[in-house]
Structure formats: C-alpha cells, structure tokens
Chain A
C-alpha cells in the first residue's frame, strides 16, 4: 500500500538557555533564545519519513502558529517531508482541544479532496506547554485509535505496530490504520538536513490556511518564573586534591561505609 503520513509539529522557544517570559506573562519570549522543535517532534519527523519511505509513500508536515512557524515546516521539508500545511494563528490563543480541532479540520479537508492521511504522528508533548493531550484529542475528533509514547513504529498489513517503553518493559501495540501515534524521543535519531535538502525545501509551496473556528483558549492566567534560588554550593576543593573531602561527604551521606 502507498502510505501517507502526516506529522504535526509546533514552533517552540529554544529553552536550552535561560527562559525569559513576555511582559504580559502569556508566553516564553524567543526574541533572543530563538525557536526550534521539541525533541519528540524531531523524532516524529524522522519516523514519519522512515515509515513513509519504507512503504513507498510520502510524509507531509503541518503546524499551527505564527507566520514564522514556516521555518519549522521547511526544516521538516529539508529532511524528507514533501508537503506542508501552515494554519496561520497565534498559538498562545489555542488550547490543546482547539489545536486538535484545527488539525482534524485540515485532515478532513484533505480527505475530502482525495488525499487521506493514513497515519498521523505528533510529539508526545510540546516542549513549551507540556499539555500531553493534542494527540489523544485529535484521535477523539477523528474517531481513530491512538497510541501514546511510541519510540518505534512500523507499518504492516494495514496496521501500525508501535513500540512503547512501559512501566515494566517494552510494550507493543498493533492498531489498524488510519491511526494517530504520539512519539517519544529515544527510539530513533533525527537526521540533519543537507544543503541540497534545504535548497529543495525552499522551493516547496506551503498550503496556507486559517483556523476554522474561534479558539476557546488554554485557560491560562499567566506564566511566571520560579523564584531564583540563591546558590548555597559548598566547594569541596579543586581537582584530584578534593577526593578526600568528597569521600568524607559520601561517608556522611551513608553511600559508602565508614
């Protein structure tokens, strides 16, 4: 079968450095930190491309966000996705249910125009809001089965087989297509874009859409930073000379026998 995989991503502030909030306390400020995708979504893109390629199909990418979110779509196009959809909107005004509804509207439209998405992949949770819900809410909107937290996926006999790290070991799910799967980092290494890949991505025409309904919102009052904790670090020494003080500490803590 020819498989069409849609991967949904979100432009998020790069939080590897210090997090700064906007003055209105409604979002993280990315003016200096820059923007990226969450680790889970990078893996979702990789799995989408691998799975589609293995099945002789294609992978496409979708985002809801401000105009600049097209950068993240082009990143996905540069590593193997072949089509992209941008729902232009202020993502801060959309809660998880709103986002799921908008993605579902696009999928239904694509389906109506003869382009069904057999498999929809999302990150397990967004690196900024960490809502853990869009995939499940999307599955409910579409009436499709959903597997959460997959590290690996394969498609066989009209089913998606997903490997999930469960509380007691590796769990396997096998659900019929069409389906929704959320991806957790760890099962696959995202590839880096090549220069030809980037050049090709620039030329892809991106489908532009507007939201289908007014968002209900994320129920957010405000964001705030935890109060800074003054450093109370006790320096035990420098270099190898500190070893005795370190082992004294270990003995004090009872992690080595006195």
Chain B
C-alpha cells in the first residue's frame, strides 16, 4: 500500500499534493495496482467529505483523517507521529508527500524515527527491484539515481515532476477518522502564533498567471518603475533574481529560484536575467518564457521560448505603450 500525505487548502488538496497522488498512481500501476491511501492531519480548511470525493477522483482508496488536540497547531514531529500511526495501521510499503517545506519536514521526521533513508525531490522512479528513484540535486542542475531499498520507502515528489491528472478509475474515497496518540516530546516544536504577513505576497507570486521577472539588468532599486507597470498591465506579479534581493533592491519574498519561490505561470517575462541555474530552478516550469536581454548568448535567452534582444529599459516601456495603445478606449 502506498500512503500519501496530502496537504490541503480551501479548495481541497493543494496542487502539488495532487501531483504527488498522480505520481503515486504511476507507481501503483508499476507495482501491479497496489492501493493508494491518503492521510490528512488536523483541522481541514475544507469539508472532509468534499476532500475525500476529490481524492477519490485521483484514485485514493481510504482517506485517513488524523484529528485531535495535538494537531490544533502545526508541528512537524506531531504530524510525523500521525503519519507513522496510520502507516503502522495500514502497513504501507511506500510513504510519500509533496516536496513542500511541510512535506519535507514531516517525512524527514518519519524517516529519522524509523531510521530509514528518505529521498527528497524525486522526479521519476526507475525500477522496483530494487526500488530506484531519480531526484533533483544541485538545484535541479543534476539528477541523482538513488536506491530506496528499505521499507517503508520514503520520498517527496518535486513540484511539477508530473502533471496532476485524475484517475481513469476513481478510488473509493472512504473517510477513516483516527485520533493518534502523540508523545509530549513531539509537541514541543509547534506553531504558537501565525499571522498573515508581508511574506504572504509570495503567495501571489506562486499563483500568478503571469510573472514579470527582473534581474541585475534592472540597474538599481529605482529601476523597477516600468517593470511594475508591465506587471500591472498584465495583472501579474513581480519576481526577481537572487542578485536583486542580495543588493537590497527588492524584498526576499519576491525572489524566484532555488532558495526563493518556485513558480509555474502561463507566462514568465524574464527581463535582464542571465539565467543562472539557481534562478532556472525556480522558473523552469513556466509554460511560456519570454526573455528580454542585451546578451543574445545568455542562458535565459537560450532556454526561453521567445526572446527580445535589448535593454529592458528600452523594451519594457515600449511594450507598455503598445499594450495601452491597443486597449479599447
């Protein structure tokens, strides 16, 4: 049995969790159709029945809902305790989660307490005997083939490793409510307060349909006026490279890349960005990339679908003007 830790928001399972369920389904098929169960922990921001129906459409058999005071506030060790309890009761041979901060944290706790290996950011499995996975390393610039010989096999799935698709044959989606006991030591590190903060702005960046990116080519902290106007005209979000945040031109929550946000917009307009590996790791999943750069040989230009060769300070105002010109009066 494959057990998938599912993270939720008001719409049900978050997209990366649905991608992980899709990945798990491929694994299940390769293993002869072993069942897939989901585990969700704590108070849910959506009705559990709706969530179960959604997860069933992704092929989930049982949805184990771990409830109780221990899960009132998020804590990685407590969540791992819940996953461990469910795993023990259903006897799963694989435990997986999305490669989100929480997915990584919870499964790392689980792997540590079970003293087994964990593979982070898996993008494919290459064989079942022995169970071998391929994962992203060096910020996605290299791949590692890694053997997960122990049971349970524990791994997280990298965002956008697969596209989330529903199952040809839905699962049953039965809700199994459980109240696992949690040791006091696992409750020490928990969220004591949470507040929507400025950093929340990165949520807009991650969900924006269009992202206008800016790098060193912006020139200075004052060089973002035209870029922000383009953001506004495209109803998008601004994303920047690491050098921009390092220079203090823009705040870190706008950073796209290996140590910033990973985005997958319909359109990424990369302005004055050379395309270092670390930045590429954050924007490679964009469906269409337009690079605006003075250097025709810049990696970002070579990797983009479309390019304009030129200084962003000349090109972007002209684009803004053209958009305004074509707008109906």
- Using CB atoms and an 8 Å cutoff, list the residues of chain A in contact with chain B: 13, 15-17, 19, 21, 28, 39-40, 95-97, 100, 125, 127-133, 136-137, 139-140, 143, 145-149, 164-176, 179, 184-187, 189, 218-226, 229, 231-247, 249-251, 253-257
Contact = CB atoms under 8 A, between A and B. Distances in A.
Contacts of B248: 189
Contact-size category for B: 35 or more
Contact of B308 (A127, A164, A165, A236): A236
Given A146-B76, A169-B199, A255-B209, 16 more contacts: A15-B139, A17-B276, A133-B118, A166-B191, A167-B100, A168-B194, A171-B193, A185-B260, A187-B252, A220-B146, A224-B144, A237-B308, A241-B318, A254-B266, A255-B266, A256-B323
Contact of A221 (B102, B145, B267, B326): B145
Nearest to B116: A97
A184 B322 contact: no
A39 B259 contact: yes
Contacts, number: 255
Contacts of B290: 236, 246, 249
Given A238-B309, A255-B209, A256-B233, A223 B137 contact: yes
B88 interface: no
A218 B260 CA distance: 26
A253 B290 CA distance: 12
Interface in B143-190: 143-149, 156, 185, 188-190
B111 interface: yes
A40 B149 CA distance: 30
B226 to A, nearest CB: 12
A129 B253 CA distance: 24
A28, A173, A179, A229 — most chain B CB neighbours (10 Å): A173
| A contact patch SS | mixed
Nearest to B111: A133
Nearest to A126: B137
B304 interface: yes
B321 interface: yes
A169 B105 contact: no
Contacts of B310: 238-240, 242
B30 interface: no
B322 A16 contact: no
B54 to A, nearest CB: 18
B144 A137 contact: no
25 contacts: A13-B138, A19-B138, A100-B112, A125-B104, A127-B258, A132-B118, A132-B156, A137-B111, A137-B112, A164-B191, A167-B102, A168-B200, A170-B199, A171-B74, A175-B188, A186-B253, A186-B259, A219-B149, A223-B145, A234-B306, A237-B309, A241-B318, A242-B308, A246-B319, A255-B234
